[in-house]
Structure 1
Amino acid sequence: REAESATRRGVWLSGSERTIITGCSSMDVIMPNSINALNGTTIKIPCTFTSCYKIDPNMFVMNWTYQETLNDTEEMIMAYHKKRGMVPLRSDRFGERVMFAGNLDKNDLSITLSNVQIEDEGIYNCNVRNPPDRITGQHGIQLNVVTEPLSFSPLHFIAIGASVGGALALLILSMLVVKCLRRHRKKELISEEKMEEEEKLDAEVVAEEGNKHTD
């Protein structure tokens, strides 16, 4: 009853006090289905998880495994140790190229793989268990390694040239239109000034003739 009552209040008592995260449904591992890496570079392989309970270092279980295909045996490349935290496991394939890059306080279990090789292609599995959650979270991500950045075919350059040429032509046309409008406006201003001068001269002539008649 005490445990049941505590659970309802948001606290689980199991030897030590465990805090339940409110609004949580179950264990869930979050990561994309695939990721691309350029040969020879360093890639971050992301993995985060949600759980109804905060991590208890004495009960938390986590490991990363690698397999070339779904039909191949999984090779463990990193595991959680309650005293040492996340520990990379050295292997012939990866050596010391796998490093922990996450933050356990934020449920981030991401790793980095440096000097990526073509042979590193495959599935990287993020396996998590966070008691008293009974569900073990697991998700795999496919790493694809490319040997060079995205290249452009002649058709790409033609399309880019056409786009740039079209934009340049539109810019020139816009400049010509603006220039024509300015010239037209200038002519209108000159015409208005001439009309004002003519009206002024007419007024002066009329005034002079009026003065003559008066004299």
Structure 2
Amino acid sequence: MASVDGTGSTLSGRLRSGDLLHAGLVVALLLGVWNVGGLELSTGKTSSIEAMNGSTVLLTCTYSSCIGIKNLYFNWHYNDNGTLIKLCEGVIRAEGVKPKVDISHNRVSFVGSSEKTDISILLWNITFEDEGQYICFARNPKEKNRNHSAIFTLYVVDQMKEVDKTLTVIIVSVLGGVIGLVIIVMVIKALVVHFLLKDDEKNKECLVSSSGNDNTENGLTGAKAENKGTPKA
């Protein structure tokens, strides 16, 4: 009986372990789905930009969430040697609703749109002191206040660097030469084919004419021979 009880308890323990394993897998799967569908921010194709002193720049930031948003809070800060200076903040009540934005900097304008999941800003009349990192932050209460941030780096220059177009010119020239050569070859080929076809037509005409003449002569000779007949006695 003792051995039976031991076996039963062992089996029960294994069942509990299996249940715990299955529960752990379910939780891990749910967490994975949650992370995949969570709030994400992006600065687009590039996370930095180089602009001239005195110009206006667009600091791009867009958000995405498979779960959706509700009362999404966002803000922009400038990192001034470790000190964060707030530029603006706002709340988007729901998808497609115009956000309520408070501007904290006199040279900043909000140009985003909740319909395009865009929370970008414009920075006017930039100076060399504006160079540095700009942090876009958002928090989504619908995802238990899940938050995310993205960094956009601005470089201010006195004049834009001239792009070396030598390689581009070489590539365009080579392509142009190749295309021109192909066109010339096609034209020459078309002319050769045209003249060859003409020669073939002339040869055919000569053959037909020659054959016709031979047949006609043979026919006349035969006719004359038949007309003569046998002379009467």
- TM exceeds 0.5? yes
1:116 alignment partner in structure 2: 126
Q: Determine which of 169, 177, 180 is the counterpart of 1:169.
A: 177
1:33-182 to 2 correspondence within 5 Å?
A: 34-39=47-52, 40-50=54-64, 54-56=69-71, 61-68=73-80, 71-80=81-90, 85-90=100-105, 95=106, 97-104=107-114, 107-131=117-141, 133-153=144-164, 156-157=165-166, 159-182=167-190
User: Which residue does 1:198 correspond to in 2?
Assistant: 206
Whole-angstrom CA distance in 2 between matches of 1:54 and 1:163: 48
CA contact (8 A) 1:81 1:87 kept: no
When residues 191 and 147 of structure 1 are mapped into structure 2, their CA distance, relative to the original with a 3 A threshold, is same
For 1:41, what is the secondary structure of its paired residue? coil
Structure 1 residues 152 and 76, CA, compared in 2 at 3 Å: closer, same or farther? closer
Decide which structure has the larger Cα Rg and report it: 2
2:83 match: secondary structure:
coil
SS in 1 for 2:175: helix
Residue 223 of structure 2 aligns to which amino acid in structure 1?
Answer: T
* Superimposed CA distance per residue, residues 22-56 of structure 1 (whole angstroms, 9 cap, x where no aligned partner): x7544443335722142243322122334656323
* CA distance in structure 1 between the aligned counterparts of 2:135 and 2:47, rounded to whole angstroms: 11
Indicate how the Cα distance of structure 1 residues 204 and 119 shifts in structure 2: closer, same or farther if over 3 A, else same: same
1:143 CA drift (Å): 1.7
- Percent identity of equivalent pairs: 23
- Following the alignment from structure 1 to structure 2, what is the Cα–Cα distance between the partners of residues 169 and 106? 45
Q: Distance in 1 between matches of 2:204 and 2:194?
A: 15
The answer to whether the 8 Å contact 2:134/2:153 transfers is yes
User: 3-state SS of the aligned residue for 1:151?
Assistant: coil
* 3-state SS of 1:74 partner: strand
Task: Find the residue that maps to 1:206 and give its secondary structure.
Answer: helix
Counterpart AA for 1:63:
N
Are the structure 2 counterparts of residues 139 and 165 from structure 1 closer, same or farther at C-alpha, using a change threshold of 3 Å? closer
Q: Residue 8 of structure 2 aligns with which residue?
A: none
Gap runs ≥5 in structure 1 = 1-22
Q: CA deviation at 1:144?
A: 2.2
- 1:88 is displaced (CA, Å) by 0.8
Q: CA deviation at 1:194?
A: 1.8
Spell out the pairing of 1:6-45 with structure 2 (5 A cutoff): 24-25=34-35, 26-31=38-43, 34-39=47-52, 40-45=54-59
Given that residues 77 and 84 in structure 2 are in contact (C-alpha distance below 8 angstroms), is that contact kept between their aligned partners in structure 1? yes
Q: How far, CA to CA, are the matches of 1:29 and 1:168 in structure 2? A: 44
Structure 1 residue identity aligned to 2:132: G
